[in-house]
Structures are given as C-alpha cells and as structure tokens.
Structure 1
Amino acid sequence: MSMTRGAWAALVTLIVGVFCLSFESQLAWLIKWPAAWVFPVHDWISSGLGLVLGWFKPLARGLSWLLSIPMDGVGWILGETPWPIIIAAVTALGWRLGGWKMAALGAVGFGFVLVSGYWAQSMRTLALVFVSVPLALLMGMAIGILAYENPRLKSAVNVVLDVMQTVPTFAYLTPLLFLFGFGPVVGLVASAIYAAPPMARNTLLGLERVEHDIREAAIMSGGTRRQQLFLVEIPAAATQIMVGVNQSLMAALSMVIIAAVIGGFDDIGWEVLLTMRKAWFGQAFLAGSVIVVFAIVIDRMSGALATQRKQYDAKVAYGLMALGVVAAFVLRVDPADIHWMDGIAASVDASVGSFTSSNGAALDSIKNNAMFYGLLPLRIGLDQAVLPFTWGFMWQPAYSLYVFAGAGILAGLIALRGNLAAGVMVAIAAIILETGVADLPWAFVLVGLAALGWTSGGLKLARLVVILLLAIMLAGLWERALLSLYLSGASVFACAVIGGLLGLWASVSRMAWAILRPMCDLLQTIPLFVFLIPVLMFFQIGEFSAFLAICMYAIVPMIRYTRHGLVTTPPDMVEAATASGATTWQMLREVRAPYAAPSILLGLNQTILYAFSMLVIAALIGTTGLGQSIYLALGQADIGLGISAGAAMAMLALIADRLVQGFAEKRRAALGL
C-alpha cells in the first residue's frame, strides 16, 4: 500500500499523540506548556503600545472633537426632521430603486420603527451609520486603488485586510478607547474600521476585472494615468464597487451594538444591550427587531444600487416627498408619544415566561443532555466528563483502554480496505474524545496542525502554522486558545453536518430551497448581537446558549455553498452519468458531490470565519477562552491583554482559513478548474 502525504501526516500525528499520553507523568512539559517558557507579552504590548498611543492621544482627541461635529449635526438633522418626511424620503428612494415593492418595504420598515417607540434611538443609530460609512468607503476605496496601482503592495494589503477582518472587533476597541476616550465617537471610528475592508476588496476586484479593451481605449485617448483611472476604469468597475458599498453598510450596521458597549450612546444598540442585561426579553426582542428591519431595508436598497436596474419615474418620488411634507404639518405627533408596540413587548415577556415555566423541564433536558453528553466530553474528555451524576457510572482507567482498543480495531479495518489516512484519523479522534480538546498535549496539537498544513499547502503552510501556534504559546494564551478551539470546532462541526444536509435537501427539492432561501437571507442580514436574544430567552446564560448563537450565525454559508456546488455540476457530466444508467443517489455521490467539493470547502471556510467572529460576541453570555479574555480586557482597558488575545484569535482563524483554502485549491486542481 503506497503512503500518501495525508497518511504520513496522520501517522506522525498519531505517534506523537501516543507518545505524549504514554509518558504523561514523566514528561509533563509535553502536556502543559511550561510557565517558564511564557514571555510577558501582555506587559510588553501594554507598555510599548501605551507609550506610542500616548504620543498620538492629543491628535486623536482633536480628531474625536472634529468627528463629533458631523455626527452631532447629522444626529440633530435626523432628530429634528419630522418623522413623516423621513418615512416619505425612504419610501421615495425605494420607489426610485425598485418600484412599488421597494417603496412598500421602506414605508412598512420605517413605519415599524416609528410604532416601536424607538424612533429617537433609531435616528441616532442612523447618524452613526451615515457618518461612519462615508469614512469607511473613502478608506476602503483608497486602499483598493493603492493595491491596484502598486502590484507590489497587493499581497501586503491583502494581509492587512485579512488581519482587519479576522481580529475580533472587541480587540481593537481597547486601543481605540484609550485614544479617543469613552463616547459615541470611538464607536464611529470602530464602525469605520470594521466596514472598510469589504469596500477595499471589492474596489480592487472591480478594477482588476475591467476589460483589457477598455483600458487600451483609455490609453489611446491620450489621457493621463489619473484621468484613465477616475474617468474610465473606476466607472467601468462601478457595479462591483457598489457591491462593496452594500457590504460596508451592512458591516457598519452590525457594529452598532458593539459600539454601544463602549459608546454609552443612547441609540438602538444601547437599548438592545441594556434590555438584555436586565433580562427584559420583550423589549430586547423589539429593539433587536428594529435593527433587523434597518438591516433588511438598507441591504435591499443598497443591493439595488449594485445592480443595473431601471430607475422608476422621479415624479412619483417627488409626489411621495410632497405627501410627506403635508403629513408633517397635519400630523403633529411627537414620536416619543407613540408606543403602540409596548403591549407586544409585554406579551412577548409573558409568553416567554409562560412557555419556559410550562416547558422548563424539557428545555433544561435539551440543554443538559447537549452539555453532559456532547459539549462537556468534547471539552474535558470522557475520562473527566463521565460521572455517576450524569452518566450513571464512574469512568475507570480500563474504559480508556477499551476506547483505544475499539478505535484501533476500527482503524485497522478501514486501513485494510485501502484508506490508511482515514483509519489513522479514527485513532486520532479517539485520543481527542478520551482526553478532551481543552486538555490535549500542546506537542500533539502543534504536530497535528503542522502535519495538516503540510498536507494542505506544503512546507510553507506548515511553517506558518508552527510559527503562529508558538506565538500563542509564548504569550501564555494556549489554554484559552484550546477552549476557543473547542467551542468553535463543535459549532463548525454542527454547522457542517446540519448545513450540509440542508444544502443537499435544497439541491434536490425546489420547495426546500423556496423555504430555506428567505430564511438564509434573513439570517445573513441580522447583526451578530441580535442572535443572542432568542437563545437567552429560552436557555439563559451559558455555554450551550453561546453554542446555539454561533451555529445560527455560521450555518448559512454551509447551506448556500453546498447547494450551489451540487446544482452547478456541468450538464455534460450529468448527461454522461445519466446515459450510463446512474441512479439519483449514484449521480449525487459519484458525480455531483466530487465536483461540488471546492464549493463546499469554501462554505466550510466561511463557516469557520463566521464562528470565530461570533465567538467573541458570545463571550457576553457565558463562554470562556480567548473571547472572554478580549471582553474582560475591554472592561479593564487592558490594551496588552486585548491586543494579544485578539491577535491569538486572529491567528487561529488564519490557520483554519489557510488550511481549508489549501484543500480547496488541491481539489480544484484535481478537477482541472
């Protein structure tokens, strides 16, 4: 039997794991990273960055004052403008972009905001978005143009954008808080930073896709390089750039609650945060619904700008605006006096209370079973999780031998069938399950991930994996990193299984996709924080609630990419399989699934990144690990801990991203794509 690279990697990992467990008592330094090998990275970052930021602090405070002027101005305009005019303006814009359907969406959406009783807070949120998004668009477009005009900088710019998108938002809030001080402006700056990368990527992508003939025509016209860029190439790339505008708007809106954590701004984000902390789930649900409505309206309208659609009659838009002005004079009702949905919030509280009291035992059973028989064994291993209180018996050392022996027999049978790598992976899975992710030997994890990197992308990727993991260990964050890996890994596995099955269902049933598609669209427009509200309603604070919130947010890419890969199989391949007499199941297994593998891996990649993004937000409801460290650092204004923990989280996400991308590229090459 020839040994593939994957088989060698798995075998080396297994040997290291067996060695570590066999000599656990004699070589304890192979199990737990020694404290003597930890450097005071937190202190170095705190002192060094604190000194550097101290130099820029006066400039930042001056910039904070300057930024507060447009923010206060926009907030005043939105706050003082009568609500009928604002609703009419949104309705008119919707008409121009998408006709009566888009107009109705704008009118109904902002009408809901009005009757929710959160009109003033919502206008402050819009002020934050209206000021932060132009900053993000300017920064993003400048970065994209810079990378396009200087190809040597492209790789460096991509690395910077990767870091900006993988570093958790809470991590860079700490230095921003130090620079700009407590208040709404720091939330404004954080939103602009978070929303800039999508614009930069789409600007670069759009410019690179400009047709060669258009560039040649611009050159032959005799224009300067600046004229070619701004008068020809950027307009030609406008469609892709508008996609960046759409994504930047959604990114900025998703930051409103996170900004409220440090902004202390009486906006809708602060209302969600405050009501969640007080366990007023009805009000939290109502305020969260306002953010979802904003997200849907902004997503649909900005998305319409990214497509070449006709603009509807401007006269109708002017008529709607005139109707709004007339209504403003006739309907002199203060929006603060409109609380039509308070009863709904109270009804939600009563319904949730009644449901949880009536079904408390069932809900507790779901949560406890998932924790005791799923999450807990994965975190601390069967040898510690199996107790008389939960499993009805005490785990004995002999049971570990039974697990390893059973796994060894199964691994041997799989290897004899010709798949040595899969067989060895079964034995590795047994080690992980018996030991627990949080207690895995660092040498085993280091060698295992490096071997996986070697299999995926060669020595270069393996070297990157080793460097990044050693950096986490030297910073003293290894145990917290393992806890983050455990929860994100469990969530990604659940999303991969459930999302993959749903994507498969959607690929073979049009009715299934008709049901799943709007649900996926809705989940992708909901800001991260809002996912915490429903899980808190029914399962309270805890690790299981965090697990559910991560799964709800991260499952959509797996569904979409699985379905897309399965339904885009080339027709000639399908015809050839049909002519050979393949059944539907054989067609799916032998033709569609292998061809869809790159797309499914891309969905897995996105799911992993989504899980890491949500992991930090979930720290608010009971998770441990790096996310909790980042959140605590924000509350303590500990720049060193915030930056180092955030960097560690970004390193883990970067490792996962590169590993999956490597396997996807190998699969594309095998398919000749």
Structure 2
Amino acid sequence: MSAPTVAQDTAHGGIHLTTGAKAALVVLIIGALCMALAPVWPWLVKYPAGWALPASDWIGAALEWLLNLIKPVARFFSRALAYPMEWANILFNGIPWPLSIGLVTALGWYVGGWSLASLSFLGLSFVVSSGYWDESMNTLSLVAVSVPLALLFGGGLGILANEVPRVRNAVQTLMDVMQTVPTFAYLTPLLLLFGFGPVVGLIASAIYAAPPMARNVMLGLERVESDVKEAAIMSGGTRMQQLFLVEIPSASQQIMVGVNQCLMAALSMVIIAAVIGGFNDIGWEVLLTMRKAQFGQALLAGLVIVVFAIVIDRISGQMAEDRQRHSKRISGAIIAVAGVIAIVFWSRLPEPASLTLLQPTADWVDSGLSAFTVANGSALDGLKNGAMFYGLLPLRIGLDGAVLPFTWGFQWTFGMSLVLFGAAAALGAVLALRGNIAAGIMLVIAAGVIETGIADLPWPFVLVGAGAIGWVAGGRKLAQFAVLMLLAVLLSGLWDKALLSLYLSGAAVLTCAVFGGAIGLVCAMSPLAWRFVRPICDMLQTIPLFVFLIPVLMFFQIGEFSAFLAICFYAIVPMIRYTRHGLVTVPDELIEAAVSSGATSWQTMVEVRAPYAAPTILLGLNQTILYAFAMLVIAALIGTTGLGQSIYLALSQADVGLGITSGACMAILALVADRLVQGFATERRKALGL
C-alpha cells in the first residue's frame, strides 16, 4: 500500500475529499466526541493517574542497579580524568596573560589576517579587563579536555557508521537521542556515577559535543568522490590505509566543520557544567551573579562567554575553510612581542583578578537598570501581563478559563463558546465551498483548541491528531510512529507536564515562525536589510543558552513570560536564515517566466518563490522546533512548568528515574515534531520534483 498524499482525491458521496480533509475530519469528530462525553466520562479529558505505569520508579530502580554495578569503574575513570583537567588548569593559568593574548592573536592572523587578529586581540583584552581572566582560563581547561574526548568519541562513531553500514541506523538513532534528550536529564546519572565535581561537567560537555563531530565525519566520508576511492583501491593499500591516508584527508574540510561545531557545543555547556561541577569557572560566576540579582555582573560574565564563543567560532571556522594562510613570520613576530612584554614586565604584571576595568560599567548597568525599572515598571508589567493574559494564558488553559473579569473585563460564557464555534464553522464552510475542505475543517479544530487550551486537550484528541498529521505527512508508518511515541508519554504518567511543555514551546515556535518568517522575507527582498540582520543572527547563534536568560531576567524577572522570550530569542535564528535562503535560491528561470507572464512582485513571491522555497522553510521550522525544546529545559530555571521543571527537580533531588523519564518524554516530543515536519518537507520536495 503506497503512502497517501495530500493530492490524492477519493470520491465519497459525490464530495471529493483529499487525504488531508479526511484526516482533519476524523480529528474533528474525535474532538467533538470527547467534548460531548467529558461530563459522563471525565477520563477522556484527564487521563487517570491509576492508569499510568510507574515508569520513573522502574527506570530509576534499573538504572540505580546498573550504575552501582559500574560505579567503581566510573569513579576510577573520573579520577583519571582529573589529572588532565588539573594539568590543563595549571597550563592555562600559568601562562602570563600577555603571552596568551599574543598566542591567540598570532593564530588569528595566521588563519584569517588582520581582521581576525584584531578580533582576537580585542576579545581577549575585554576578558582581561573584565576581571574574569582566571575563571575564563578554568573554563578553557574544561573545554580543552572535553573537546578531544568528544572528537575521539564522535569521530570514532562516524568512522564506525561509515565502515559498517549495518550499524549506521543505530548510530544515527544514538546521535538523535544524544541531541534531543535534554542535557539536564543525563546529569543525574552522571552525578551518581562520577560524583560531584568538575569532571562530571567535563563528561557532560563531551557527551553533548560528540554528535556534531560524528555527523560531519559521516557526511564528509560520504562525499569523498568515487574517483578518489577507486584510486586508493588501485594503489593496493589496505582498508585502513585507504581510510586514514586518502579518504579522511579528502574529507578534512567537512571534518573541520565538525570540529568547529564540537567546540561551540562544548563551550555552550560551561554554565550547565557549573550547575553540577562546583568549579570556579566563568559559568559559575554567571550562575552566582544571576542568583544574587547582580545583573550588571551577570551580563559582564555572560559577555565574557560570548566573546570566547565568537573568537573560537571565527578561528575554528576559518581553519575549516580551504583558504591560503597568512605569513608565519608575522605570527611569530606577534608571539615574540608578547613574550618580550611578559618577560620584561614579569614582576610588574598585575594579577588578572585585580584588572577590574569594566567593574564601573557593570555597576552603571545595575544602577541604570534599577532606575529604568523604577521609571518604567508599570509599562514593563503592562507588557508582560498583556502578553500573559491575552496571549499565553488563553493558549494554555483556553478562553473558557483565561477570560475573567479582572483580566478581560468580562466572564467567558457557554454562549460565547457557541458564537466562537459558529463563526469558525461559517468561515470553514466558506473555505470548503471554495474547494479547500481541509482548511475549513482545521479552522473549526483550531477554534476548539483555543477555547479549550492546549494544557487541557483530551488525550484521545491529541493522539489521533498526531496520527492524522503523520498520515498526511508521511503515510502509515509515520502515523504509527507518532501515536506510539505519544502513547509512551501518556503511559509514563507525565502527560500533563508534556502538554505544558508542548504549550510553551508551541507558542514560542509560532511566534518565531511569524516574526522570523517575516524578517527572512524582508531580508530576501532587501540585501541591505540582510547586511544588518546577518551579524545579529551570527551573534545570537554563538551565544550559549544560559546567557539568553540574563537580559530577560533584567527586565521581566522570573516568570513564564521571561522563559517564553528567552526561547524565542534563541529559536528565531533558523527561521530567519532558512526563510531567506529558500527565497533567494529560487532558480532565475522560474522568476523570469513569472515576470514575463505579467506577474507582479507580490504574485511572483506568493505563487512562485514561496512554493519553491517551502521545503527549505520547513527545514527552518524543524530547526526552530528543536531549538525551542533545547531552550525549554534551560528556561525551567526561571519559572516554567512542565517537563523542564521535572528534569531540574530530578537533578536537585538526585532522582535518576524521574530525570531520565522526563528527559525521554521531552526527547519524544521533539522527535515526533521533527519527523512530522520532515515528512511535510519531503512530500513538498517530491511535489516540486527535487
């Protein structure tokens, strides 16, 4: 049986229903039945706790037995890793800071010229001036040890998947799990295995940073031209010689991209590592100052991480490109000058901790922030409350629960629900009469979701809805996958938490899709706008996740709205980039054909460029969803509910079962959303003949 597509029509009673229309009709019927039968069978809406499996207890007991079994080996490994950590720490802190700046500046010159050398010099000078040099060197020592581990582990997995095709799918699945399971979820078992300390953060960083390396190794080896492989075979070399002397060097550029992404992933983990590491590094400074509400200091420490991220990203990114390098003599001269300064002024060099040149700036930020919030507190509260009362809260608990006299000025009534459904049905009928039956039915479904609220949706409706979307996007297998995965969440006893996570991430993704898509559209139409937006996107993509929490906390304090903003800032970049890329890569002949036929610019955009760019835009939506789920767990620190909160509580309580189960449920939501969007993108590419 072939997978059905949206374009397939089936005659039924004289009315032609597409696959999408039939799927939407089934979902509508199930939703209506659940609403009608809820007073009689309340379990249709609220899944009974007694029906859930004690998955957290089972997983916790099994993992504790396993962890206790291998704990001696893990503790030995932990003690062994403590030595390179200590050596790296002594090395980075022992090198005089002028020489460190000179070494990085020289490397920047060699791989990127004056622009990168200037960026390196100014960036590290900022770090010295901040007074956080020692903490930054401690952070670099963690990165310096975790990245080689991640490179070895990820590179080994990539080579294994390339050499043994039978394990390729298993490696791909492992990479998906490592990238979708929130990092907080596997911190709890790591704590039990390796104990409290910086080594736990090191191992967590290595686990998080390994998948990008594995994926790029696999991709690079796949792209080695067949002629190169055949030449290696004809030369009579063994398989290992072919691999390490020919294929890996040929794939070196793609592998270096993996090194770049590995470095950035490890650096983004420094604050999460500080949560469990108790390490006097820059991540710990960010956490400490945030907890004390010293936002000026927190912003300064966060900017230090951003500076490191930008410098490391630019240098490693340039090393990944096959470009001509600059003069080694000038690099040597820069190092020599820095060395002379360090030696001549050895006894006069101030301690890095005493160089608090930017402390007045941090104090000014704190005082300015206090003055701003006092002067504009009512406006900020009005913005936050307006977004909560008129946007987020109705999405969460529905108009029926959110529309109250003290917020909206009136009480939502049953008659208003009838009016809402009636208006939706009328508009849906208009769409159906115009030939778009699926859109008309989905409009009625959307009205029901808004009236009920995502957190209170009946579980049969959600399961059937996910299955219907899967059927339309990819056929029977995808539908079965979506239903079975969500059924596992339902049986885990964390369904209510999952819906809360789905609500907040869904609201953020919708916001990113609207605003990110609009910004991407403007950038596609205006190169000047893209020149302005591009550096902002570059900066947002290099900022570690935790740093996004600082500015929203500065203005809106702890709460769900702050978490929502942090998720949006982090997840909007892929939507902007992919929308713009999809629209500007439409073949010129298609645009010329539309223009020659008399189409206006708007018609060309809507009828030619947008449909052709749809697969790329859907890929951007896919990345936005994954980014939103990744940030959702971090946002649990500032006031969210749902699975992220459960994961964080499990970490603080050392509850392995709850942590793993909550993390798995979060990964399932992300994985289902990922597969559904990919299904639609694949279907669209087939329709375009791509």
Question: TM-score band (shorter)?
Answer: over 0.9
Q: 2-side partners of 1:231 and 1:444: how far apart? A: 56
Which residue, out of 653, 664, 679, partners 1:662? 679
Match of 1:218 in 2: 232
Question: Helix, strand or coil: the match of 1:394?
Answer: coil
Quick check: 1:231 aligned with 2:245?
yes
Match of 1:292 in 2: 306
Match of 1:583 in 2: 600
Match of 1:311 in 2: 325
Question: Helix, strand or coil: the match of 1:2?
Answer: strand
Question: Helix, strand or coil: the match of 2:113?
Answer: helix
Question: Helix, strand or coil: the match of 1:649?
Answer: helix
Match of 1:458 in 2: 475
Unaligned runs of 5+ residues in structure 2 are 1-14
Q: 2-side partners of 1:108 and 1:63: how far apart? A: 39
Match of 1:529 in 2: 546
Match of 2:265 in 1: 251
Quick check: 1:37 aligned with 2:37?
no
Quick check: 1:423 aligned with 2:440?
yes
Match of 1:444 in 2: 461
Q: 1-side partners of 2:327 and 2:606: how far apart? A: 51
Which residue, out of 476, 495, 499, partners 2:512? 495
Quick check: 1:398 aligned with 2:412?
no
Aligned AA (1:492): V
Quick check: 1:545 aligned with 2:559?
no
Match of 1:198 in 2: 212
Q: Deviations over 1:312-338 (max 9, x none)?
A: 111111111111111112332211211
Match of 2:21 in 1: 7
Q: Report the CA distance between 1:401 and its aligned residue.
A: 1.1
Which residue, out of 601, 604, 608, partners 2:618? 601
Match of 1:163 in 2: 177
Q: Deviations over 1:533-568 (max 9, x none)?
A: 000000000000000000000000000000000000
Match of 2:202 in 1: 188
Q: Report the CA distance between 1:239 and its aligned residue.
A: 0.4
Percent same amino acid at aligned positions? 66
Match of 2:491 in 1: 474
Quick check: 1:83 aligned with 2:100?
no
Match of 2:111 in 1: 97
Q: Deviations over 1:164-198 (max 9, x none)?
A: 00000000111101101110000000000000000
Q: 1-side partners of 2:596 and 2:423: how far apart? A: 43
Aligned AA (1:656): A
Q: 2-side partners of 1:402 and 1:222: how far apart? A: 79
Q: 1-side partners of 2:360 and 2:258: how far apart? A: 40
Q: Report the CA distance between 1:296 and its aligned residue.
A: 0.2
Q: Residues 511-526 of structure 1 correspond to what in structure 2 (within 5 A)?
A: 511-526=528-543
Which residue, out of 213, 216, 222, partners 1:208? 222
Which residue, out of 525, 531, 535, partners 1:508? 525
Match of 2:503 in 1: 486
Q: Report the CA distance between 1:11 and its aligned residue.
A: 0.5
Aligned AA (1:196): A
Question: Helix, strand or coil: the match of 1:541?
Answer: coil
- TM-score, normalised by the number of residues in structure 2: 0.97
Q: Which one is further off, 493-502 or 316-325?
A: 316-325
Q: Report the CA distance between 1:394 and its aligned residue.
A: 1.1
Question: Helix, strand or coil: the match of 2:17?
Answer: coil
Aligned AA (1:411): G
- TM-score, normalised by the number of residues in structure 1: 1.00
Q: 1-side partners of 2:26 and 2:518: how far apart? A: 33
Q: Which one is further off, 188-197 or 308-317?
A: 308-317
Q: 2-side partners of 1:579 and 1:199: how far apart? A: 47
Match of 1:275 in 2: 289
Q: 1-side partners of 2:384 and 2:85: how far apart? A: 44
Aligned AA (1:612): F
Match of 1:386 in 2: 403
Q: Report the CA distance between 1:400 and its aligned residue.
A: 1.1
Match of 2:7 in 1: none
Q: 1-side partners of 2:72 and 2:91: how far apart? A: 29
Match of 2:256 in 1: 242
Aligned AA (2:643): L
Q: 1-side partners of 2:507 and 2:282: how far apart? A: 32
Match of 1:301 in 2: 315
Q: Kindly report the root-mean-square deviation, in angstroms, between the aligned alpha carbons of the 2 structures.
A: 0.6
Q: Deviations over 1:402-446 (max 9, x none)?
A: 111111111111111110110011000011000000000000001
Match of 1:61 in 2: 75
Q: Report the CA distance between 1:156 and its aligned residue.
A: 1.1
Q: 2-side partners of 1:103 and 1:473: how far apart? A: 54
Question: Helix, strand or coil: the match of 1:359?
Answer: helix
Q: 2-side partners of 1:289 and 1:333: how far apart? A: 22
Q: 2-side partners of 1:457 and 1:264: how far apart? A: 47
Match of 2:374 in 1: 357
Q: 2-side partners of 1:490 and 1:227: how far apart? A: 52
Aligned AA (1:243): V
Q: 1-side partners of 2:425 and 2:37: how far apart? A: 20
Q: Deviations over 1:478-525 (max 9, x none)?
A: 000000000000000000000000000000011110110000000000
Aligned AA (2:582): G
Q: 2-side partners of 1:99 and 1:644: how far apart? A: 49
Which residue, out of 448, 452, 458, partners 1:435? 452
Q: 2-side partners of 1:334 and 1:49: how far apart? A: 47
Quick check: 1:407 aligned with 2:424?
yes
Q: Deviations over 1:357-405 (max 9, x none)?
A: 1111110010000000000010001111011100101111111111111
Aligned AA (1:369): G
Q: 1-side partners of 2:360 and 2:70: how far apart? A: 50
Question: Helix, strand or coil: the match of 2:411?
Answer: coil
Aligned AA (2:277): G
Q: 2-side partners of 1:464 and 1:97: how far apart? A: 47
Q: 2-side partners of 1:394 and 1:597: how far apart? A: 41
Match of 2:10 in 1: none
Which residue, out of 566, 569, 584, partners 1:567? 584
Q: Which one is further off, 620-629 or 570-579?
A: 570-579
Q: Which one is further off, 391-400 or 607-616?
A: 391-400
Q: 2-side partners of 1:159 and 1:417: how far apart? A: 44
Unaligned runs of 5+ residues in structure 1 are none
Match of 2:651 in 1: 634
Q: 1-side partners of 2:201 and 2:97: how far apart? A: 25
Aligned AA (2:279): F
Moved segments of 4+, more than 4 Å: none
Q: Report the CA distance between 1:27 and its aligned residue.
A: 1.4
Q: 2-side partners of 1:397 and 1:527: how far apart? A: 47
Aligned AA (1:437): I
Q: Deviations over 1:634-668 (max 9, x none)?
A: 00000000000000000000000000000000000
Q: 2-side partners of 1:415 and 1:472: how far apart? A: 35
